[in-house]
Amino acid sequence: MIQPATIGRLAAFTISMSLGLMACTGGGEAPMTTATPSAPDPNDAAVRVLNASPYSIRADAELLDYVNSTAQAAYAANCQGCHGADMQGAPGIPNLVDYDWLWGVTGFESNDAEPVMAIQQTLLYGVRNTECPDIEDVSYYGGCADTRYSEMPGYATLGYSAEQINDLVEKVIDLSGGDADAEAVARSANDWPACTECHGEDGFGYKPYGGPDLTDNVSLYGGDRDTLTSVITAGRLGQCPPWGKELDAATIKSLAVYIWNTASGL
């Protein structure tokens, strides 16, 4: 048998719930409903770009035209100031069409989706971006958590002597096939291990970490002795801004596909 006190509590609970519902629904009116967002139009060009592979885009003339026109406009407005109208960069600014990649792209990918995704990451999060909402990211990683980040330190600030730096300069010249001082190259063996984390033991670089290949004839800042001495002595920490909050997803992907196609001669 339900006790009178229990019945009283149930009645009070029922009344309070009724009053609460009336307050939420405007005094007994039907509950408000939230409009369901309309589904993206699958025929919209931007939606099609986001759903298409690089192969599919190239096979669809209309879609490829959309990607090219979108990317060219975005490039002219946001990228051309640094990388140039011809996309070939300048000292300290990467050439985007020489197929020499600092980040992510190795050239051994099994399909076009991999390098396009790698380029998208760079576009979205930038290189050495430090403008993070959580300042701890910078203290933990040097830059924002998703940004491309590595450091070319200044070896003079690390206590290396001018002779040690000169020996490393000769080592880099030797790696790239230049006419180097053999004795200096031999002496550099003691200091070279400090460089291998980014550049690898044989100097071929490390793409996931942004370590340049030192064995080719491509140099971001220049391959002459004076430039190499300056780079090793003082270090370099070039930046590229993140575009993820400035450009929409379809534009980011269009730029990535456009850069990849142009660099690949497609």
Sign of the torsion formed by the C-alpha atoms of 40, 42, 44 and 48: positive
Delimit the domains of the chain by residue range: 49-148+240-263, 162-234
The two three-digit tokens of residue 74, written as one number: 């975005």
- The predicted structure's pLDDT at residue 3: 45
Burial of 28 (0-12, 13-18, 19+ CB in 10 A): exposed
**Which helix (H) or strand (E) element contains residue 228?**
helix 225-234
- The predicted structure's pLDDT at residue 11: 41
The fold for domain 162-234 equals Cytochrome Bc1 Complex; Chain D, domain 2 (1.10.760)
pLDDT per residue as tens, the chain (266 positions)? 444 444 344 344 333 434 343 333 344 455 555 666 667 776 799 999 999 999 999 999 999 999 999 999 999 999 999 999 999 999 999 999 998 999 888 888 889 999 999 999 999 999 999 888 777 767 677 888 889 999 999 999 999 999 999 999 999 999 999 999 999 999 999 999 999 999 999 999 998 889 999 999 899 999 999 999 999 999 999 999 999 999 999 999 999 999 999 999 98
CA dist., res. 113 & res. 103, Å (int) = 15
CA dist., res. 243 & res. 240, Å (int) = 9
Asked whether the domain spanning 162-234 has the same topology as the one spanning 49-148+240-263, the reply is yes
Among 3.40.50.2300, 3.90.79.10, 3.30.70.1140, 1.10.760.10, name the CATH number for the domain at 49-148+240-263: 1.10.760.10
Please choose, from the candidates 226, 83, 99, 103, the residue with its C-alpha nearest in 3D space to the C-alpha of residue 165.
226
Where b means 16+ CB within 10 Å and e means fewer, 254-263 reads: bbbbbbbbbb
CA dist., res. 67 & res. 169, Å (int) = 43
Q: Are 248 and 181 in contact (CB under 8 A)?
A: no
The two three-digit tokens of residue 206, written as one number: 């490390």
Q: Are 87 and 97 in contact (CB under 8 A)?
A: yes
Query: What pTM value is reported for the model?
Result: 0.80
CA dist., res. 23 & res. 58, Å (int) = 57
